[in-house]
Chain A
């Protein structure tokens, strides 16, 4: 199709999401009009965009953005990254005001910057990860192990106590009840367990859910006590559930999985006052799913280097643990490209659930599972005359259906684009149902 040849432009929302703070977003918006710009251009796919911006000072700033990174360069003195000029230039581009140019038109300074970045990337890739293995580190590890051991025992007593006294009472307890135990687990250096306990408050009024979550915590306890007799990968899963950290260096030192990775879903959330982004990848050849987690303190931008609906060839390193989905992108071998339909989707809902069962078998504590399924259609909730709201569903041609998460906003855009026909859908599957994050209909990516 003729329209596929032009490089994909981002949405303005996508650009504004990169702003390190609201002030930068506002200032960037003010610069997103053609007036302050001179000599703008774009080249390549994903494009390199450049321009010079006449700011308040009379010296124009040279601005350049590599959309593939994305990475930004600006001659202004701002410490913000991206600065308002880079944001403005990106907005100008999203509005279609930046003309495409051939490679020779790329200004010298922009070309140089691009070369420097490539060189730096190669150096970083070549650097070997170093680790300190001193005695002091060993002592710290021992101390931590002892604390965790005590914390595990305390948690076990507490879990037994809940069941001994009855969950009906726990349901009436306030947040304090859960937070107190969570705080003791933080002191015991078991942050993974601490946040699991804190989240119990949310299910306290649903006894079925509460017993499930309590029993899964008990499963961590028993698993941890028997860690020496567990297979290594399962022991690693248990350790990560307890909250033992794994350093980025260790992860990157592991064996990489080389594949063509498609970004099939992105979800941003606030978690414990941090901005958290979950980017879900799916490998074409290996069929593996990967979860790239990134955090940003309040007021700073989450990195926008993984763009929904694009794929790249690259190396991904997984965190240790059986069935662990969390991973890091080690390096990319190709610039991102858009794809019309993600590869490797489960052809039926039965098959998707079968894959989910395998994932639960590997990691029984799995909370969110990346469900990628094709040949389904979106079914809206029946028009409610009265009573409680019904959930939406996805439905395949075999007549199997799955409920959509009723806490997520009703996905009208998905219904509109599907129009009752079959589509490919990606979402996070959990006990509350499926939370759709992306859909592909007629070769177009649709966000809910």
Chain B
């Protein structure tokens, strides 16, 4: 067919053209310099006509490339793909997420999706892995979840793109294998891999990991050193903890019911090796910072015979009191010590101590759930709205069920207050506005902290608010709360093994009208499932 086109279309050779076809390279050379510089050569038209024949022939005669090696086949997955609905939700979050949600909320919802996938031992459809892996480059917190939900394919894919190297260690996600590799290949491992393997040890830390971790304290890479120091504080019997305790005792001692404080006068090599930071991140005195660093890294269980409350209550020299308090708070948070956290929060609330206010959130995070609920209940019952609003804002999710219900009840009961504030003075108006803004933030926080099963309750709350005379901002806040909750509930139902969620989950309006419940939907839906 190619031949016939040639004959029909290309003009017959002109008289000046050489018989036959000039080779392409020669034509190209002639065309490059120009026919007027090649005396006695072809006419431009003849060059173009011959080139046309070549052009068509070259296109039609395109041959495949040889010698390309296929990538190794990706290993078979041990886990099943998520349901089609769950996959659709992931696509929605990845594609439309950036325009429909604020980045923080979108990443939180993505994190929840990934957690659900990990909990149900399901994996994401592989086509979404590049987007997820890109996301993990910025958001380190999501990385382990992405590696889990990505299955074998994520590790396979990461080997083709250095930017995603963090997920490429998939095959030995098991701490035992990390332990073996670190012990055997330490000197050959690249820095990034050492860092990943070391942090992997944290997922199943054993006391005999101390040897590897002590060695890692002398690593060239700061990330490796920092992770190793952090992990060593988690081994109660570690030498690092013993060294830290000695430093603590050099700085602090109890004498005659008072705290005697002697902060270090120099930052020595040993402190640096044990993971302490020499300069304060936000300025301030060096000695106070070193003191805080030592306290923050000391195992609290061993520091005193006194109870945490008694220790916190000890009178201390005012110039060092803040550093000690901040150090203790950081230690309580990182060691997840609920008793110390409670004592420190009490001290803060009683107002006698310059409290570690910005650390309160991390302290609430480690409180024993019943203790947390007790405090929230007391605040809601006894304190002004702004106090419990800020307390709830600091309680990180997921909230225990009891706390969730307390918070919902408070949000429902509260409105009388900001809605009908007597507009007597500028001060009250300002306070009311501030409370509305705080409530708005609290609703966003609540929307991610509540268990998804409470979606219907939040929908009801939003609906009752919509038909009341509450300030519009608060109605909007509650509405957003309800919307996010419904999104989360659907998301979690899409992971449950029964696929019949669309029958059990009507829109809030449909639940109100009795006819909607009697509609044939409920009988209709399962029939389409019978073919499965």
Contact surface of A with B, Cβ cutoff 8 Å: 1-6, 9, 11-13, 16, 29, 32-35, 37-40, 91, 94-97, 99-102, 104-105, 156, 159-169, 207-208, 211-212, 214-216, 218-219, 222-223, 226, 230-231, 234, 349-350, 353, 356-358, 360-362, 364, 366, 377, 379-380, 383, 393, 395, 399-403, 412-417, 419-421, 431, 441, 444, 446-447
Contact = CB atoms under 8 A, between A and B. Distances in A.
Contact of A215 (B33, B54, B88, B99): B54
B428 interface: no
Contact of B528 (A6, A156, A402): A6
A102 B525 CA distance: 8
Contact of B49 (A1, A215, A420): A215
A295 to B, nearest CB: 25
B65 A403 contact: yes
Contact of B521 (A11, A16, A37, A102): A102
B482 interface: yes
Contacts of A100: 502, 521, 524-525
12 contacts: A11-B96, A12-B100, A13-B96, A95-B92, A96-B490, A96-B494, A97-B486, A160-B43, A163-B35, A349-B64, A362-B5, A364-B9
B32 A168 contact: yes
Contacts of A105: 519-521
Contacts of A219: 9-10, 52, 55-56
A9 B88 contact: yes
B68 interface: yes
B160 A383 contact: yes
Most buried by A among B71, B131, B499, B524: B71
Given A96-B490, A167-B32, A211-B28, A416 B130 contact: yes
B433 to A, nearest CB: 24
A207 B44 contact: no
B51 A214 contact: yes
Contact of B32 (A2, A94, A164, A207): A207
Contacts of A401: 64-66, 68
B95 A13 contact: yes
Interface of B: 1-2, 4-5, 8-11, 27-28, 30-37, 43-45, 47-49, 51-52, 54-56, 58-66, 68-74, 83-85, 88-89, 91-92, 95-96, 99-100, 125-131, 153, 156-157, 160-162, 462, 466, 479, 482-483, 486-487, 490, 494, 499, 502-503, 505-510, 519-521, 524-525, 528-529, 531-532
Given A222-B10, A400-B66, A164 B44 contact: yes
A444 B65 contact: no
Contacts of A32: 100
B262 to A, nearest CB: 56
Contact of A97 (B73, B490, B528): B490
A393 B68 contact: yes
Contacts of B83: 3
A436 to B, nearest CB: 13
A112 B88 CA distance: 31
A61 B526 CA distance: 31
Contacts of B55: 211-212, 215-216, 219, 364
Contacts of A226: 11
A147 to B, nearest CB: 23
Nearest to A383: B162
Contacts of A402: 64-65
Contact of B92 (A94, A207, A215, A361): A94
Contact of A101 (B30, B36, B129, B521): B521
B34 A215 contact: no
Contact of B8 (A35, A218, A230): A230
Contacts of B126: 416-417, 419
A380 B71 contact: yes
B455 to A, nearest CB: 10
A400 B92 CA distance: 37
Nearest to A230: B8
Contacts of A169: 34
Contacts of B62: 353, 356-357
B70 A420 contact: yes
Contacts of A377: 70-71
Given A6-B528, A12-B95, A416-B126, A33 B483 contact: yes
Contacts of B27: 211
Given A11-B96, A166-B33, A222-B49, A2 B156 contact: no
A215 B51 contact: yes
B8 A234 contact: yes
B31 A166 contact: yes
Most buried by B among A3, A9, A29, A161: A3
A212 B51 contact: yes
Nearest to B58: A212
Given A102-B520, A168-B33, A96 B28 contact: no
Given A160-B43, A377-B70, 12 more contacts: A3-B499, A12-B95, A95-B487, A99-B506, A102-B521, A167-B34, A215-B48, A218-B45, A364-B59, A379-B69, A379-B71, A402-B65
B308 to A, nearest CB: 46
Contacts of A362: 1, 5
A411 B360 CA distance: 46
A44 B487 CA distance: 24
A166 B490 contact: no
A421 B30 CA distance: 47
A360 B89 CA distance: 43
A101 B72 CA distance: 47
A421 B532 contact: no
A38 B130 CA distance: 38
Contact of B1 (A230, A358, A395): A358
A16 B96 contact: yes
A400 B64 contact: yes
A12 B72 contact: no
A346 to B, nearest CB: 12
10 cross-chain pairs, A with B, having the tightest CB-CB distances, nearest first: A166-B34, A2-B532, A12-B96, A419-B74, A215-B51, A400-B64, A3-B84, A361-B1, A412-B130, A163-B44
B44 A160 contact: yes
A408 to B, nearest CB: 15
Given A101-B521, A216-B52, A222 B9 contact: yes
Contacts of B96: 11-13, 16, 91, 94
Contact of A34 (B160, B161, B494, B508): B508
A316 to B, nearest CB: 23
Nearest to B5: A361
A364 B69 CA distance: 33
Contacts of B54: 215
Nearest to A223: B9
A400 B528 contact: no
Contacts of A104: 520
A11 B99 CA distance: 13
A38 B509 contact: yes
A39 B509 contact: yes
Contacts of A29: 99-100
Nearest to B59: A360
